Structure 1
């Protein structure tokens, strides 16, 4: 069993395959490590190049070929599922992250008994307008909403304790939120960030663009809900429902008093329509909360999931 697993999702990086494997070989040396490169349905010859590299380094390198392009999150999850090490380090295949940073991150995680050591591209070598500014905006929003104080969520280079990382499943494009997901399983002071090297892209084409910023914002809404209310959805929908019922009931009571005490006409008044809408919306939110609560219980109980994670167990000798 290797002590360290390095997971690298790769898509259409034919020009970077050989330099990447050479850099990994130089950085990892004789360490007790396995390297898992997940080919996410590449169509440019990367798959054949990876197979050649695996044949030359079979004792360390494992290549997984996905049937088609499923996306970076799915490819990363495939690598995590296959990993056997106590520590899992994730890395991009474009060589902008430096493989020389892999071992220092893993060693710090073990030495300080941490669960996540995240890379911070403090001196980022990317374009200002299309990459740096949108990234800074997204990172600030993520920090505020998740409470995990990282400067650089977008840096793929991170070291994880495998027992914690394998406690979550990644879907959609949630790979950038892994530290936030893990904050539901561990304390945030066990998640630290360290500066790492970052290089300009020398070959290949970037898969990132300004459009990803909008997808991050949409994903962030789901992450915020999941982190706070996945085990108690009624608290989310119920509060909104009760507030809406309170507003609607107040409007309707006022109109009732106005009608029978003052004799005022209420038909066609905007407040009547608003009061009915608020009242019905409140009932709908409460019903949604009840349904969501039942689905949450089915999810946890039907799949044998628990609302806690056991870190270790020590028994007294018999």
Structure 2
């Protein structure tokens, strides 16, 4: 019998919020008669989060857990959850109670009835609407929309729903969880929707994200755009650039040689443009060779998204 919903909850040091979150999810699932599972992925917690997950799993067979040996980041936690999920619709949410499980039924309906592949939450009214969060988020969303063509107001919202086929067809690593809709689009899933969702004030603990996410976010967006276009054919980028640089340098050198033979009194090496030509040809050759190396790496990298899972908690019926 297939499950209706898999809920993936990545977490780190959220022991206080977990019992309340699980009880809330269960109430919603029972009220709407959904069959479900909850995968709680402990991303290297240093508090008692894993012990709490074990206790919750003993009380409710729908609760399952994955514990990392160390902190890998939210993308790694989501990726492991995607691998484990068996529900027809997969929903992700944060563990800090800022995402409301009451949104789950509508997110499920939009996938099953409206035919969306991905539905992203939009926290239109926020409780953490500070300058350091609001301005960078708007900049990220604007830049991502322009570069990727995926028009979402809140790309980084943790509350999202996916058709099962989507999560089984993509992988996320680094800090790329912010751009899963972009990754999904580049994998052929273009029916991407958005839903305004409730954003709640944090009840326990503090945020786990620092200022480094601003820089990492831009770098990962650039990585996604590169990988989506040239990940399988790096020679098309590096080879083209290398050829262009080499030709520019060669043409300059050819002109200088021609000028020296027929009418120029100066030595080629006396002219600064000669060294520019040399540099251009060297850079062109290096870029061309980089393309070859990239092709070799792309064809042989088979385990670039493997993580050390210390424990997998799963109850069998």
Residue 290 (structure 2) aligns with = 288
The corresponding residue for 2:139 is 137
Instruction: Give 1:39's match in structure 2, choosing from 42, 46, 51.
Output: 42
Equivalent residue runs for 1:58-207 within 5 Å: 58=61, 60-188=62-190, 190-207=191-208
Corresponding position of 2:55: 52
CA contact (8 A) 1:10 1:39 kept: yes
| Number of aligned residues | 299
* TM-score normalised over the length of structure 1: 0.89
**Residue pair 1:142, 1:220 contacting (<8 A) in 2 also:** yes
Q: Secondary structure at the match of 2:268?
A: coil
**1:313 equivalent in structure 2:** none
Give secondary structure in 2 for the equivalent of 1:183: helix
Retained in 2: the 8 A contact 1:130–1:209? no
User: Bigger CA drift: 288-297 or 157-166?
Assistant: 288-297
What is the rounded CA distance, in whole Å, between the counterparts of 1:103 and 1:298 in structure 2? 42
Matched residue SS, 1:291: helix
In structure 2, stretches of 5+ residues that fail to align are: 304-317
Over residues 248-304 of structure 1, what are the superposed CA-to-partner deviations in whole Å (9 max), with x where a residue is unaligned? 1222122112322222232242211110010111122122223323443445xx79x
**Alignment RMSD (CA, Å):** 1.7
Contact 2:166 2:189 in 1 (8 A): no
C-alpha distance in 2 between matches for 1:88 and 1:214: 29
- 3-state DSSP class of the match of 2:9? strand
User: 2 CA distance for matches of 1:120 and 1:89?
Assistant: 14
Displacement over 4 Å in runs of 4+: none
Q: Using a 3 Å threshold, how does the CA distance of structure 1 residues 187 and 20 change in structure 2: closer, same or farther? A: closer
| C-alpha distance in structure 1 between counterparts of 2:251 and 2:128, whole Å | 55
Query: What's the counterpart of residue 310 of structure 1?
Result: none
5+ long unaligned stretches in structure 1: 304-318
Aligned partners of 1:270, 1:129: CA distance in 2, in Å? 49
In structure 2, distance between residues paired with 1:140 and 1:156: 18
Give me the whole-angstrom Cα distance separating, in 1, the residues matched to 2:210 and 2:138.
Answer: 14
SS of residue paired to 1:64: strand
User: 2-side partners of 1:22 and 1:93: how far apart?
Assistant: 12
CA distance, structure 2, for counterparts of residue 26 and residue 91 of structure 1: 16
Give the drift of 1:244: 0.7
Q: Secondary structure at the match of 2:87?
A: coil
Query: Is the contact between residue 258 and residue 264 of structure 1 (CA under 8 Å) also seen in structure 2?
Result: no
Contact 2:122 2:153 in 1 (8 A): yes
1:14–1:204 Cα contact (<8 Å) kept: no
Distance 1:250 1:52 in 2: 72
33-42 or 265-274, larger mean C-alpha shift: 265-274
Secondary structure at the counterpart of residue 15 of structure 1: coil
- Separation in structure 1 between the aligned mates of residue 245 and residue 82 of structure 2, nearest angstrom: 44
| d(CA) in 2 for partners of 1:147, 1:281 | 32
